Structure 1
Amino acid sequence: MTTDFQQAREALGRRLRELRGRPTQRDLAAVLGWPQAKVSKLETGRQTATPDDLKAWARATQPDTEEELLARLQGLETHVRSWRRQLRAGHRPVQDVLTIEYERSTELRAWQSSMVVGMLQTPDYARHIFTRYAELQGSPRDVEDAVRARVQRQQLLFQHGRSFHIVMWEAALHAGVCPPEVLAGQLEKLASLIGLDTVRLGIVPYGAQVGVPPANGFWLYDERLVIVEEWHAELWLNDADSVALYRRVWGTLERSAVYGTQARRVIARARAQFTDGA
């Protein structure tokens, strides 16, 4: 599947090809002291250029294009924020950046199919989530700082004038990403939030007919930004077409959700698996 990021990388590659002009890839590689394969990968969008790569390319072709090329790279990177790069200093800085976007927004919508969304997590549940991701990404262990930042952000749930419309697949209620007793406490908290005037929580039950596959999670911040969660990165998309697409996806999934008493029953059914016989 071609992503917005890949399309932007290919567009940058085409621009690099234009700047190379008549000299061959081998000729340019010799000037730059690079393998020819690197020149080929950059021009075809199979490798992401670094700022130093672009500075060297501009110096070897048209020096006055350096600023242009760096601007193109910056635009590309603002859409794709790799976890490896974001988590170099740990999870706490990532939480602080997200808090800014939450505070800027008044109407927030979320879809999550694999775990309880961060805004509704208990400290114990969040602690296990951050630990699992730190292990996966090999990032610094600042779990407790990240938990505090996430819990502090949850105060926004109780601010008048802000609304959170969150939809989750029932599978998120069963995912064993933490010990059973922690998950039971998490589900109890979810049930307690139903009826809060700033939060509308919907659950898409197992077996519900859905208009699109219940895939990766994302947040919509008003009508200006969508943040999509991937294994390798977050996609920050603010162009109107992308926001509208994810708004349609969210609306399609939301129509399959149950609310209120029905949602409590789905949550209670999941919780019973972790409390019966305990």
Structure 2
Amino acid sequence: MAGVMDSVNQRTQLVGQNRLELLLFNLGGGQLYGINVFKVKEVLQCPPLNEIPKRHPVIRGVAHIRGGTIPIMDLRQATGYAPLQNIEDCFVIITEYNRSTQGFLVRGVERIVNMNWGDIHPPPKGAGKESYLTAVTEVDGKLVEILDVEKILAEVSPLAEDVSADVIEDSKKNTVVSKHVLIVDDSSIARRQIQKVVESLGCKTTVRKDGREALDFLEELLKEGKDPSQELLLIISDIEMPEMDGYTFTAEVRANEHLRNMHIVLHTSLSGVFNEAMVKKVGANDFLAKFHPDELAKRVNERIAFYTSET
């Protein structure tokens, strides 16, 4: 799989076009899965793994790769199935999520496909809350499942979700506002984490699962004769979402003269220096890598302070 990653510059051309590149892989069997290439640093044959004491069962060991020690998670086992066998014949997808690097053990890697986010759909309603699916699509007549990696990581290596007491204390210096914070994210885990942070500061939340739902919500407020910028303190939006991604959502908001003053923070597990250029390109106010509760809370506090100073 040498050369599986295109150059950063080439991939950034997808920004604002509601497009993505999916790396297709399998976990053994006929089902195909996909992961956004933006999150993939490298794909390689499974290297020798060293076991670590008291490890989570999903972590098959750690690998020493390019001067770093990286935990390798069995993606098949993480989603509730039997562990992969003969792992020396498997592949590892090295990814960067939520400011950390980890490898996902998979049976085989297929190819990269260029797609439109409009062809990526939420999972069927019957999938249930315990499902590890965050989206589905179709490639060459085959169903491709996109896994909620944030849910998997939260189960294997939970992140701290509480806001520090001093940050909450800072929020009390300002008048608690009646405006809502609009949270846009396709991951149920991410939505819950963000809600917990925002509501700990005394703000109410409105939640939507993707950019299309969020844009429809804003347009519905306009139809009701309301000014969204007066109803909402800010919008905290993921980037990777089915139907409409966060970049395209931001660009659509900026293109609407009645919405263009909305304050938008893109909050994503995507990492890398190229994100700053993307944020500027689509016109977001800020970018924040997931997930650090204090940093997110400080962004919300800044908006509360700005709002109270204006009223």
Question: TM-score category by the smaller chain?
Answer: under 0.3
TM-score (norm 2): 0.26
TM-score under structure 1 length normalisation: 0.28
More helix by share: 1
